[in-house]
Structure 1
Amino acid sequence: MIRVRDAHLHNLRNVDVDLPRGQLVAVTGVSGSGKSSLAFGTIHGEGQRRYFESVAPFARRLISSAVDPQVGGIEGLPPTVALQQSTSGGGARSTVGTVSAMSNTIRLLYSRVGDNPEGLYSDSFSPNTPEGMCPDCQGTGIQHVPTEESMVPDPTLSINEGAIKAWPQAWAGKNFHDILEELGYDLDSPWQDLSQKDRDWILFTEERPVVTVHPHRGADQIQRNYEGTWRSVASYLTKTFRETQSDTLRDRTLRFMESHTCPTCGGRRLNPKALKVTYAGLRIDELGALPLADVLTLLQAQPRDNTAAELLLKQVIPALESAVELGLGHLSLDRPSATLSPGELQRLRLAAQLRSGLFGVAYVLDEPSAGLHPEERTAVMDICRRFLAAGNSVLLVEHDMDLVAQADWLVDVGPLAGEAGGEILYSGPIDAYAAETPTSRALHSRQLQLNAAPRDAHGELSLHGVNCRSIKELDVDFGLGQFTAVAGVSGSGKSTLISTVLAGLLRSTATAVSDNEEETGWSVRAHEGLDQVSRVVQITQKPIGRTPRSTLATYTGLFDAVRKLFAATPAAKEKKWTVSRFSYNVKQGQCPTCGGAGQIEVELAFLPGSYSTCPDCHGARYNPETLEITWNGYTIADVLALTVDDAAAVFAEEPPIARALATLQSVGLGYLRLGQGAPELSGGEAQRIKLATELQRSRNSRRGHTVYILDEPTTGLHPADIALLNAELHKLADAGQTVLVVEHNLSVIASADRVLEMGPGAGADGGRIIADATPAELARRDTPTGRALASRA
Structure 2
Amino acid sequence: MAKNSIIIKGARQHNLKNIDITIPRDKFVVFTGLSGSGKSSLAFDTIYAEGQRRYIESLSSYARQFLGQMDKPDVDYIEGLSPAISIDQKTTSKNPRSTVGTVTEVYDYLRLIYSRIGVPHCPKCKKVIKQQTVDEIIDKILSFENGTKLQILAPVVRAKKGEHQKVFESAKKSGYVRVRADGVTYDLYEEIKLEKTKRHSIEIVVDRIALKDGISARLADSLETALKLGNGLVIVEIIGGEEMLFSQNYACPDCGISIEEMSPRMFSFNSPFGACPTCSGLGNLTEFDEDLIIPDKSLSLREGAIKAMGWNVKDPGTIAHAQLSGLAKKYGFSLDTPINELSDEHYNILMYGTNGEPISYFYKYNIEQPFEGVMKCIERRYKESFSSYMRAEYENYMSSITCPDCHGERLKKEVLAVTINGKSISDVTKMSVRDAKKFFEEIELTDTEKLIANQVLKEINARLGFLVNVGLGYLTLARSAGTLSGGEAQRIRLATQIGSGLTGVLYILDEPSIGLHQRDNDKLLATLKNLRDLGNTLIVVEHDEDTMFAADYIVDIGPGAGVHGGEVVAQGTVDEIMKSKRSETGLYLSGAKKIEVPSKRRDGNGKFLTVYGASQNNLKNIDVTFPLGKFVAVTGVSGSGKSSLVNEILYKKLSAVLNGSKKKATNFKKIEGIENLDKVINIDQSPIGRTPRSNPATYTGVFTDIRDLFASTNEAKIRGYKSGRFSFNISGGRCEACSGDGILKIEMNFLPDVYVPCEVCKGKRYNRETLEVKYKDKNIYEVLEMTVEEGLEFFKNLPKIKRKLQTLYDVGLGYIKIGQPSTTLSGGEAQRVKLATELSRRSTGKTIYILDEPTTGLHTADVHRLIDVLNTLVDTGNTVVVIEHNLDIIKTADHIIDLGPEGGDMGGTIVCTGTPEEVAKCEKSFTGKYLKKYLKK
- Give TM-score, length-normalised by structure 1: 0.85
Match of 2:598 in 1: 451
**What CA distance in whole angstroms lies between the structure 2 residues aligned with 1:2 and 1:203?**
77
Letter in 1 for 2:420: Y
- Indicate how the Cα distance of structure 1 residues 408 and 135 shifts in structure 2: closer, same or farther if over 3 A, else same: same
Choose which of 87, 100, 104 in structure 1 pairs with 2:108.
104
SS in 1 for 2:569: strand
Distance 1:73 1:576, change over 3 A: same
Q: 1:156 to 1:395 in 2, by over 3 A?
A: closer
Measured after TM superposition, the shift of residue 630 of structure 1 is: 1.7
The answer on whether the counterparts of 2:637 and 2:926 sit within 8 Å (CA) in structure 1 is: yes
The equivalent position to 2:98 in structure 1, one of 94, 101, 106, is 94
Are 1:412 and 2:551 matched, yes or no? Answer: no
CA contact (8 A) 1:288 1:333 kept: yes
For the pair shown, which has the larger CA radius of gyration, 1 or 2? 2
The whole-number CA distance in structure 2 between the counterparts of 1:689 and 1:9 is: 23
8 Å contact 2:897–2:914 — kept in the other structure?
yes
Paired position in structure 1 for 2:651: 503
- CA separation of 1:610 and 1:744: change in aligned 2, threshold 3 A: farther
Mapped contact 2:61–2:750 kept (Cα < 8 A): no
**Given that residues 89 and 486 in structure 2 are in contact (C-alpha distance below 8 angstroms), is that contact kept between their aligned partners in structure 1?**
no
* Equivalent residues in 2 for 1:572-591, closer than 5 Å: 572-591=716-735
Residue aligned with 1:319, SS = helix
One-letter code of the match for 2:857?
Answer: G
Instruction: Choose which of 17, 27, 34 in structure 1 pairs with 2:38.
Output: 34
Structure 1 residue 232: deviation in Å?
A: 7.6
> 1:216 corresponds to which residue?
none
Distance 2:529 2:518 in 1: 18
Pair 1:271–1:521, CA change in 2 (3 A)? same
1:453-602 matched pairs, under 5 angstroms: 453-459=600-606, 460-511=608-659, 518=663, 520-525=665-670, 527-600=671-744
Corresponding position of 1:67: 71
| CA positional deviation for 1:734 | 1.5
The aligned residue for residue 773 of structure 2 is 629
Q: Distance in 2 between matches of 1:606 and 1:112?
A: 42
Structure 1 residues 572 and 60, CA gap change in structure 2 (3 angstroms): farther
Residue from 928, 933, 937 that aligns with 1:786: 928
Note the C-alpha offset of 1:250. 6.2
Q: Which amino acid is the alignment partner of residue 790 of structure 1?
A: K
Quote the offset at 1:166 in angstroms. Answer: 5.5
- Aligned pairs for 1:422-437 (under 5 A) are 422-433=566-577, 434-435=579-580, 436-437=582-583
Deviation at 1:401, TM superposition (A): 2.1
* 1:682 CA displacement: 1.2
Shift of 1:762: 0.9
Query: Cα–Cα, structure 1 residues 65 and 502, in superposed 2: closer, same or farther, change >3 Å?
Result: closer
Q: Which residue of 1 aligns with 2:51?
A: 47
Tell me the equivalent position of 2:506: 362
The alpha-carbon distance between structure 1 residues 203 and 352, as it changes in their structure 2 partners (threshold 3 A), is: farther
Among 749, 762, 766, the residue aligned to 2:907: 766
Q: What CA distance in whole angstroms lies between the structure 1 residues aligned with 2:613 and 2:291?
A: 31
CA contact (8 A) 1:204 1:235 kept: no
Deviation string, structure 1 residues 261-293 (Cα, Å, up to 9, x no partner): 434334322234433433343222222112222
Question: Does the 8 Å CA contact 2:49/2:70 hold for their aligned counterparts?
Answer: no
Query: Aligned in 2, Cα 1:193/1:308: closer, same or farther, shift over 3 Å?
Result: farther
**Contact 1:151 1:166 (C-alpha < 8 Å) held by counterparts:** no
Give, in whole Å, the separation in 2 of the partners of 1:720 and 1:564.
Answer: 36
CA distance in structure 2 between the partners assigned to 1:787 and 1:164 by the alignment:
50
Q: Confirm or deny: 8 A CA contact 2:640 2:900 kept in the other structure.
A: yes
Deviations 1:684-717 (A, max 9, x none): 1111110100010035xxx351111111101100
Q: CA deviation at 1:407?
A: 1.3
One-letter identity of the residue aligned with 2:423 = L
In 1, are the aligned partners of 2:31 and 2:542 still within 8 Å (CA)? yes
Give 1:124's aligned amino acid: M
Q: Distance in 2 between matches of 1:573 and 1:462?
A: 56
Distance 1:61 1:477, change over 3 A: closer
Superposition RMSD in Å: 3.7
- Stretch moving more, 677-686 or 296-305: 296-305
1:264-413 equivalences in 2 (<5 Å): 264-300=405-441, 301=443, 303=445, 305=449, 309-413=453-557
- For residues 301 and 898 of structure 2, the distance between their equivalents in structure 1, rounded to whole angstroms, comes to 51
CA 1:788–1:270: 2 relative to 1, 3 Å = same
SS at match of 1:472: coil
Residues 439/164 of structure 1: CA separation in 2 closer, same or farther (3 Å cut)? closer
- Pair 1:80 & 2:84 matched: yes
How far off its partner does 1:452 sit?
A: 2.4
Q: Runs of 5+ in structure 1 lacking a partner?
A: 170-176, 206-230
Cα deviation digits, residues 150-175 of structure 1 (max 9, x gap) = 989999979xx998946699xxxxxx
1:441-496 deviation digits (Å, cap 9, x = unpaired):
12211766433211112222223322222212212222211111121111111222
Separation in 1 of the partners of 2:568 and 2:396? 54
Count of matched residue positions in the alignment of Structure 1 and Structure 2: 744
Which residue of structure 1 aligns with residue 26 of structure 2?
22
Percent of aligned pairs sharing the same letter: 40
Q: Which amino acid aligns with 2:52?
A: Q
- Quote the Cα distance in structure 2 between the aligned partners of 1:675 and 1:630: 17
377-386 vs 304-313, which deviates more?
A: 304-313
Q: Which residue of 1 aligns with 2:847?
A: 706
Deviation digits for residues 59-84 of structure 1, max 9, x if unmatched?
Answer: 75897975222222111111111111
- Larger deviation: 440-449 or 558-567? 440-449
Letter of the structure 2 residue corresponding to residue 564 of structure 1? D
